[in-house]
Amino acid sequence: MLTRNRSFLYENSFLRKKLGLYNWLHKTDNLKVAPRTCKIGDNATVIASIDNNSNNRELIHLGSYNYSGLSGNHEVIAAAQESLNDYGTSTSGVRLLNGTTDLHIQLEDKVAEFLGTEASAAFSSGYDANTATLSTLISPEDIVFSDQLNHKSINEGLQLSGAVVKRYKHNDMEHLKFRLQSYPREQRKFIVTDGVFSMDGDICKLPQLIDLAETYHAFLIIDDAHAIGSIGTCGRGTASYYGDLASHVDIITGSFSKGIPAIGGYVAGSLEAINLIKYASGPFIFSASLPVPIVSAILKSIEILESRPEIQEDLNRKTNYFRQTLQQLSFDTMNSETPIVPILIKDQQLTFEFVKLLHLNGIFVNPVCYPAVSANANRIRTNISTALSYQQLDTAISAFEKIGKQLKII
C-alpha cells in the first residue's frame, strides 16, 4: 500500500517552475476549443468544439505546421498505405539492431541529397534529433553559444552535453561576436541556433553566423525544424533560403512533422559527424526506429517538394499577402519573414480574449503567452499553409480587423 502523501511528488521547486509554463496553457483550456481533426482532403480547416456543449464546428485552420499543404496529400497517403501492407506498423526494434530497413537507408540518402550534405541520420522525432546531436558531439569541456530563443529540445540537449552555455541575445550578431571574443582560439566552441524561430517567425542570420564561426573557429549547428518545407528553394530550408550555404554549416537538424507531413527528425552533415551521432547517441541505439509507412510518407513528400517548386512559391505569395495585409491594418507582426506570422498583442488577458473571439468567428489560432515568450510579448501565433485559399485568408483577415477594432488593438 502506498503510504506516502502523493503531493510529495509535487513538492519540488524544479517541477513547480516547469509547471509555470502550463499556467497559460491551462488558460487555453478555458477557451473551450478542442481541435479534433484535420479533414483529409481539406487541410485548411479543423473540426473543433468551441463551447462547453461539445458542438463541433469547422474553423479555418491558422494554427497548423502544415506549411507545404502536403498533410492529407493523396500521393503521400498512398505511399504510406503501400508500405503499411508490406512492412506493418512497427519495426519492432532500434536502428542499431533490427530496426533499420532498406527504406530507412533510402530516406537518409534522400535527405542528404535534398539538403546538400554528405550524409544524414533519421530519428523518431525532431526532439530526439536535437538531444542526440548536442549530447553526443558536445562535451563538458566545450563552450556553446546559443540563441536566447532556441527551442526547448536544444536547451535540453545542451544540458545533457554538460557544456558551459553562453546565451546571446536573439539574432544579435554583435552580442554573439562579443561573447566569442572572450575565448581563446584553441577552446572548442559551438554556435547553436534555430534556422526559423518558432515563436517569432524570423530567420537566423546565417551568412553572418558562418563568418563568425569561421573567424572564431567555432562549429555551427542549426535547427531547421520550421524551415524544411517552409522556406528556401523547394522547401530546402535556411541554407537554401540564403543561396546555397549548406556546405558552410557543420550540422543541420530538423523535423518531419511540419512542412513534411509525418513524424520524425533528421540530422544532416559530414559522414564522419553523422556516423558519430548514429553510433554514440542514445536515441539511435536505444529507441525504436520510425515505422516504415512513415518513412515512405516522408520520402514521397520530399519527392513532391523537389519536383514542384510551385508549392514553395505559392506558400511565399500567400504568406506575404497575409502578413502585408495585417501590417496595412496596423497589426504588429514583429520580425516575421516566414509562414509563422505572430500578431503581437502584449497583454495576456487581451490575447486570450482575441483568440476566443477569433474562434467564435470561425478562425482557429493559437495564443502564445508568458513564460513561453517574455511577459510583455504575449501574442497570437498564426501559421500559413498552401492549403489555405485566398478566400479563406481574406475571411481570416476580416475577422482580425473586426475584432482588432472591437478590442481597440488597431
The string of DSSP letters for 1-13 reads ---S-GGGGG--H
Annotate 153-171 with three-state secondary structure: HHHHHHHHHCCEEEEECCC
Give the H or E element holding residue 42: strand 42-49
Exactly one of 43, 64, 117, 125 binds ligand PMP (CB under 6 A); which one? 125
Indicate the SS3 state at residue 240. helix
By C-beta, is 194 or 200 nearer to ligand PMP?
Answer: 194
Q: Which of 125, 153, 198, 230 is catalytic?
A: 198
As a whole number of Å, the CA-based R_g of the chain is 22
By C-beta, is 91 or 338 nearer to ligand PMP?
Answer: 338
* 153-172 positions binding ligand PMP, by CB under 6 A: 153
Q: Which stretch binds ligand PMP (CB under 6 A): 76-84, 120-128, 205-213, 393-401?
A: 120-128
Exactly one of 71, 133, 135, 257 binds ligand PMP (CB under 6 A); which one? 257
Q: Which of 226, 278, 300, 318 is catalytic?
A: 226
Active site residue 258: yes
Q: How far apart are CA 151 and CA 340, in angstroms?
A: 15
Compute the least distance from the CB of residue 266 to ligand PMP, in Å: 10
Q: How far apart are CA 381 and CA 199, in angstroms?
A: 7
By C-beta, is 114 or 127 nearer to ligand PMP?
Answer: 127
Q: How far apart are CA 228 and CA 205, in angstroms?
A: 16
Exactly one of 223, 312, 331, 385 binds ligand PMP (CB under 6 A); which one? 223
Indicate the SS3 state at residue 287. coil
Is 136 a binding residue for ligand PMP by CB under 6 A? The answer is no
Is 71 a binding residue for ligand PMP by CB under 6 A? The answer is no
Sheet of strand 340-346: strand arrangement? 340-346, 378-383, 366-368
- What's the longest Cα–Cα distance across the chain? 64
Exactly one of 73, 133, 193, 255 binds ligand PMP (CB under 6 A); which one? 255
Q: Which stretch binds ligand PMP (CB under 6 A): 33-41, 48-56, 122-130, 275-283?
A: 122-130
Is 338 a binding residue for ligand PMP by CB under 6 A? The answer is no
Is 130 a binding residue for ligand PMP by CB under 6 A? The answer is yes
The string of DSSP letters for 162-226 reads T-EEEEE-TT-HHHHHHHHHTS-TTS-EEEEEESB-TTT--B--HHHHHHHHHHTTEEEEEE-TT
By C-beta, is 155 or 395 nearer to ligand PMP?
Answer: 155
Give the H or E element holding residue 84: helix 74-87
By C-beta, is 123 or 331 nearer to ligand PMP?
Answer: 123
Q: Which of 61, 151, 189, 258 is catalytic?
A: 258
8 A C-beta contact, residue 91 and residue 291: yes
Exactly one of 67, 114, 127, 241 binds ligand PMP (CB under 6 A); which one? 127
How many residues of this chain bind ligand PMP (CB under 6 A)?
14
The grid cell for 268 is 544532416
Is 240 a binding residue for ligand PMP by CB under 6 A? The answer is no
293 Cβ neighbours under 8 A, 6+ residues apart: 80, 81, 83, 84, 87, 89
Active site residue 226: yes
8 A C-beta contact, residue 298 and residue 164: no
Instruction: Give the β-pairing of 189-194 and 143-147.
Output: parallel
Exactly one of 198, 238, 301, 386 binds ligand PMP (CB under 6 A); which one? 198
Is 225 a binding residue for ligand PMP by CB under 6 A? The answer is yes
* 5-44 positions binding ligand PMP, by CB under 6 A: none
> Interface mask (CB under 6 A) for ligand PMP, residues 362-391, using x and -?
------------------------------
Is 133 a binding residue for ligand PMP by CB under 6 A? The answer is no
By C-beta, is 83 or 131 nearer to ligand PMP?
Answer: 131
Active site residue 336: no
Closest CA to 333 of 397, 261, 273, 407: 397
Is 151 a binding residue for ligand PMP by CB under 6 A? The answer is yes
Compute the least distance from the CB of residue 125 to ligand PMP, in Å: 4
- Tell me, what DSSP letter sits at residue 290? P
Give the H or E element holding residue 111: helix 102-115
By C-beta, is 171 or 198 nearer to ligand PMP?
Answer: 198
Residues noted as catalytic? 198, 226, 258
Residue ranges that bind ligand PMP, judged by CB under 6 A? 125-127, 130, 151, 153, 194, 198, 223, 225-226, 255, 257, 265
